[in-house]
Structure 1
Amino acid sequence: MLKPAHAINNYGHIDEYAPDDIASGAHRKSVGAYWDRMGELQFDFLVGKGLTPQSTLLDVGCGSLRGGIHFIRYLAPGNYYGIDVDPALVKAGLEHELPAAGLSERLPPDHLRVTTRFNCSFGVRFQFALAQSVFTHLPLNHIRLCLYRVAKVMPPGGRFYATFFEAPADEPFGKRHPEKDPFQYRPSELAWAANVAGWRFRNLGDWGHPRGQQMAEYRRVASPRETARRVRTKAERAAARIRR
């Protein structure tokens, strides 16, 4: 029985889909269009970045396993982990998509977790993490929390890839309201968010997403604790200069 890591808040998510909804593919439509195309695109991208069957992968926003099916088939059994805010999607992936693909034996149920605060502490160090179409739905402070939590489970050199909608240079909030989903960000804002937890940010740009989402790379260079120490030291030095 899948249990949430934290109590689910008022995101409006249902506990599970009715059988008729599963049969009609509602759990697939809920994660966006292009089920087959996007699943394959995620997989091809990470393999191109060095993902091997021996790698450990954290799928942030795993949903109903659109990309997960491909990764679970490729990775050594047990090397895939996923988190998501939506219990119905996770349940649909675990109970419907996995059996349909003949992959149930390759993924322990406790490798999927429902969490509203990016609780990804599975007792595993991840070489790779992916957040496909997650930052596009998050305000900036939620992105900072995500980066902080993921940094705790990745060793130096670990890479976290996340897609985002890029705001035009001459329109800081794009053509959308800045406080509403879907969100747009300048690369400089995502680079600033990286400072919360010892990441080095790089904007990879276009990676073939059918709706124009860009790809960001976060490479882990220091622990969150070390980052906090450096920030405190920098702040203390700045304060000392002001006092002088």
Structure 2
Amino acid sequence: MTDKPDQSALEAEILDTRDTRPGAGNRRAYVGPPTQYDFMGATQFNLLTGLGLREEHHVVDIGCGSLRAGRYLMQYLLPGRYTGIDPNSWLWQEAIDKEIGADLIALKAPRLLDEADFRMTGVADDSADYIVAQSIYSHTGADLFTLSVAAAARCLSPTGQFLFTAILPDDAGVDRMPRGPAHEGWLYPGCLSFAEADVSAVCSAAGLHVQRLAWYHPRQTWFRAIRDPALRMTEEMFATLGTGKPLFDKRF
């Protein structure tokens, strides 16, 4: 029998992080429940590839944080195809230093933008094949939500797809949560909820056609928005995509 290898310093640090409360000043805990860090990155990658993402496409990751999804996307995409945006640059810098490595960054040449105004000023018009914003609009009031969706619509290519989450009134844990339309600015680590009609109205005002997805999320709801209504998903497409809910894992 082969002896189990000694636990590395990185593994020990990551396992210790799992006892940290969400929102704490740790690169993994700061962006959400640290016990779900691996899954929450992987589920975004699986959703994107299930909706047609291929290595030649350009992806913009709004609120990329500590590259929870970015570490999967950078390795998959061709060089220069990944753009991450986050005002907390220490998150991605620490992730690169401790988990991802400078060699991968040099090889895949991602663009990492320190921007806080949701205007996506560093992204060209009509350039993004996929834009993803996971658990961003769960922390924005109506003003920032509207601003961000309008910016995403500007940057999205004519055939591009914008995938994002929001907390709806029927999602778990919403009872005492403030309503997004009654709030302005950014709220973190607290959360805000929007009615599905609010989400539809914001997308429509930006010239986007939105559909709710059944893709699994432990606390929120996924949406898919496109510029061309001909690219709306059919019931057959929804069935083919599935729900993405993990099996054989008691955490979910």
Normalised to the residue count of structure 2, the TM-score between the two structures is 0.70
2:130 and 2:68 map into 1 onto residues whose CA distance is 17
Amino acid at match of 1:82: G
Query: Is 2:158–2:228's contact at 8 Å kept on the other side of the alignment?
Result: yes
Of 189, 193, 197, the residue aligned with 1:184 is 193
Answering whether residue 204 of structure 2 is matched by residue 195 of structure 1, we say yes
Q: Gaps spanning 5+ residues in structure 2: where?
A: 1-12, 18-25, 230-252
Amino acid at match of 1:142: L
- Partner of 1:112: helix, strand, or coil? strand
Looking at both structures, which has the greater relative contact order when contacts are Cα pairs under 8 Å and sequence separation is at least 6? 1
Answering whether residue 99 of structure 2 is matched by residue 97 of structure 1, we say yes
Displacement of 1:144 = 0.8
- The alignment yields a C-alpha RMSD, in angstroms, of 2.4
Of 220, 228, 243, the residue aligned with 2:227 is 220
Displacement of 1:174 = 4.3
Displacement of 1:195 = 2.7
Amino acid at match of 1:138: T
Percent of aligned pairs with the same residue? Answer: 27
Q: Relative to 1, partners in 2 of residues 1:190 and 1:81: Cα closer, same or farther, differing over 3 Å?
A: same
Query: Is 1:131–1:163's contact at 8 Å kept on the other side of the alignment?
Result: yes
1:106 and 1:200 map into 2 onto residues whose CA distance is 36
1:42 and 1:91 map into 2 onto residues whose CA distance is 21
2:30 and 2:212 map into 1 onto residues whose CA distance is 28
Displacement of 1:167 = 1.0
Normalised to the residue count of structure 1, the TM-score between the two structures is 0.72
Query: Is 1:168–1:174's contact at 8 Å kept on the other side of the alignment?
Result: no
Structure 1 match to 2:215: 207
Q: C-alpha offsets along residues 47-92 of structure 1, whole Å, 9 cap, x if unaligned?
A: 0011011111000010010100000111111111010121221322
Query: Is 1:87–1:114's contact at 8 Å kept on the other side of the alignment?
Result: yes
2:27 and 2:38 map into 1 onto residues whose CA distance is 14
Displacement of 1:194 = 1.0
Of 31, 41, 56, the residue aligned with 1:39 is 41
Amino acid at match of 1:68: G
* Within-5 A mapping of 1:120-199: 120=120, 121-123=122-124, 125-168=127-170, 174-178=175-179, 179=183, 181-199=190-208
Amino acid at match of 1:115: E
